Amino acid sequence: METHEILDRLELLYPKSSFLSDLRKAVVSEDQYALFRIIQGKKDTAIIEALRKLKNNDVFDKDCISRGQIQSKLWLIKELQKIDYDLGVVFLCAGWYCTLATMLFESKIKVDKIRSFDIDESCINIAETFNKPWVIDNWKFKAIKQDIMDINYDTHVWQSWSNKNNTMSKPITDSPDTIINTSCEHIHNFDKWYEKIPNGKLVILQINDFFELEEHVNCVKDLKEFENISPFSTLLYEGELQLEKYKRFMRIGVK
């Protein structure tokens, strides 16, 4: 990734940073590690350190910090802060690299702990790289390889595999207060997944109308269609965000 691209994406996260604006004008070196060190010294965020560590990781998909991905997550953070809701224990479904978890922890939003579930094993170490401060803080964050169709959204028992000593953790039980899925367009049998969520849970969902991608198996054409497949007993927020190639829709409420 080129230096100017990194600056583009950091400025989305920190749009009022005069330091980044000045840095863009001043940078002439191709030493991206030096750039990371400079920014790290000015802004305390786990994202910068994670990007530095993952720079040469062949598995890492840099699309996780694309303009659309960042804008979508910033939108979620912004609207949640307005609602001022205590998220408690969060189950992040199809969590991918969990940059959203990092942003939640670094925001003023109240979060007890976050469990991220993804069926792709390659996501686990990368997600925990982005969220290392909270992994080592008594597992306030943990990424787990698991199909979100196999989760008990009332009280779930899970185990994590340790790469260091090749053993499984002791069974851990969590009862989520909040269910987040920002990848609803990727979910086969979405209706069956949504049925698994008990009434009374806070639910945060995002989906898009980008039908052109083959892996997008559950797109919707508008917000009304999204409402129909994800009914709430109490609606706290719904809206749409126009991005470069598609619209993203978001709903926040109590099921």
User: pLDDT grade, residue 41 (50/70/90)?
Assistant: very low
> Directed axis angle between helix 46-54 and helix 32-42, to 10°?
170
**Residue bearing the bigger pLDDT, 174 or 64:** 174
What average pLDDT does range 187-195 have in this prediction? 97
pLDDT reported for residue 247: 96
Q: Which two tokens stand for residue 113?
A: 């702990």
3-class DSSP string for 37-93? HHHHHHCCCHHHHHHHHHCCCCCCCHHHHCHHHHHHHHHHHHHHHHHCCCCCEEEEE
Look at the alpha carbons of 161, 66, 242, 111 in this order and tell me if their dihedral is positive or negative: positive
Domain boundaries for CATH 3.40.50.150 within the chain: 67-254
Indicate the SS3 state at residue 156.
strand
User: What superfamily in CATH does domain 67-254 come from?
Assistant: Vaccinia Virus protein VP39 (3.40.50.150)
Of 62, 144, 60, 74, give the one whose Cα is nearest residue 106.
74
Pairing type for strands 113-118 and 89-93 reads: parallel
pLDDT reported for residue 29: 45
CA angle in degrees (0–180, nearest 5) for 200-204-206 = 145
